[in-house]
Chain A
């Protein structure tokens, strides 16, 4: 890492660390939510941006982890940390099953298949009332005592988010991540060069699902409640929109996308109940005007200026 970039990271972390001091109370918990969804958006970007396959099932993977944590802690009276572990394992298992099916497809088919798979998880969560609580969902505080304070929770999420971001950053910039990019650019050529494309896609998908699962498990700490809408299509769509708005293939764009969309959701919800309408309109306009996302658009503009 170059000194300038290191300085930037330290400055960003320092700035984020000041949030509970500068914006105490409600806005801290809003920032906590942004951090959680930023990791979800980044995990989606691993697939959408670096592998060239746009998934619509990450809300389901994310939510499975939330469900498992809440079920284990509130119904089975287990420890929260074991719950998180089990939640991440369950989410990764779901991701493995999805990956095995989805890696055979690409483009629009991949999107459709992951959409259908995610919706099946939603359907099961809605109907399997004896375990998931059906439409009422599961409720209960699963946070360990020392995280009860919102500021502590924020710092915990900041640390977890920083570690996950670093891990994902290393992952997409590793030789393995470069291979994924190669598959995105030209699958046939990578196959001719002797790379096992299916295996790479499978691992890429599973890793992406793992990170979505971690953010989902941590979401249980934050939200203390899970219902079918946590695993629903809207969640996957929101996550994908965060990744797209931030710019696919930039990883850190997810952070900006999550901050923008959670912030906007918060503002819109204060005035109207029509968040889903606004979300839909944003999707339509992003697709028409700036499919390369806010970061992508900005870097395009600065490149033009430099020239």
Chain B
């Protein structure tokens, strides 16, 4: 396997992780018009929770489940008890979640300290997968699989289920849905929890190959922002394409210009904004 193929796979698997994190972000942003800047902090805390749960139970699956449940609960509290105060004021909502991000990040620093941790990879996923000439870390391929699975499940949820229909209806006209006897607030609370849980799962999976440290939350947040800015808000396909673009650029950028890797994702974002300010798949509100 050539070095380029290896890098391509690295980009692809990183894209899967980015998608996991960014799709929760874009779901909340697109459907509820809430920009949750605490999303990166939710990712980081999800990773720490998974680490703790795996340490206790020794099971990787339990770790992921614990992260998803804990972060969904945290999301519920943020949505119900903090965002409830500033309903309808977009800018105040964003700035409030920014405050939440600072608080959560600092709390994580108090609880887990400033050291770098890695979520342990389960036995069956360690080492490379070797098929003739092809050799690549199993765990990263697993993350790729999870990314694809989540994409399919979310698509089915939104387009093929009653809950999905309610969410879509609520986005277009919340009052009418409410008049038809549906508790739209509950639907939106559920959406927020799903989005938060995805950040938690992302943290658990990402904690194993990107590792967890105090600034990991803002790094993943910037990547997610770039994904959503490129893909357009609320679009699953946009999040997928955006993740691919950002991950490939970040990955090859790191190989070609190690010191300026961050700068490379700036290029397509700038270009895209010049022509499509709402992103590739974005539509005006």
- A contact residues vs B (CB 8 Å cutoff): 54, 56, 101, 104-105, 107-109, 111-113, 115-117, 119-120, 123-124, 126-130, 233-234, 237, 240, 244, 274, 276-277, 279-284, 287-288, 291
Contacts and interface: CB of A to CB of B under 8 A. Distances in A.
B263 A108 contact: no
A281 B82 CA distance: 11
A115 to B, nearest CB: 6
B90 A107 contact: yes
Interface residues of B, number: 46
Contacts of B110: 274
A113 B274 CA distance: 13
Interface in B106-129: 106-107, 110
B100 to A, nearest CB: 6
Nearest to A56: B98
B107 A119 contact: no
B112 to A, nearest CB: 15
A115 B39 CA distance: 14
Nearest to B96: A287
A287 B95 contact: yes
Contacts of A280: 98-106
17 contacts: A101-B274, A105-B277, A109-B277, A112-B229, A113-B273, A123-B261, A123-B262, A124-B262, A127-B259, A129-B259, A240-B95, A277-B106, A283-B99, A284-B82, A284-B103, A287-B85, A287-B99
Contacts of A130: 259
Q: Which of B225, B265, B278 neighbours the largest number of chain A CB atoms within 10 Å of its CB? A: B225
Interface of B: 33, 35, 37, 82, 85-86, 89-92, 94-96, 98-107, 110, 218-219, 221-222, 225-226, 228-229, 258-263, 265-266, 269-270, 273-274, 277-278
A128 B259 CA distance: 5
Chain A interface, >50% SS class: helix
Nearest to B38: A280
B102 A287 contact: no
Nearest to A274: B106
- Cβ-closest 3 pairs across A and B: A280-B102, A283-B99, A123-B262
Contacts of A117: 266
A283 B222 CA distance: 20
B259 A116 contact: no
Nearest to A118: B222
Nearest to A107: B90
A284 B99 contact: yes
Contacts of A120: 222, 262-263, 265-266
Contacts of B265: 120
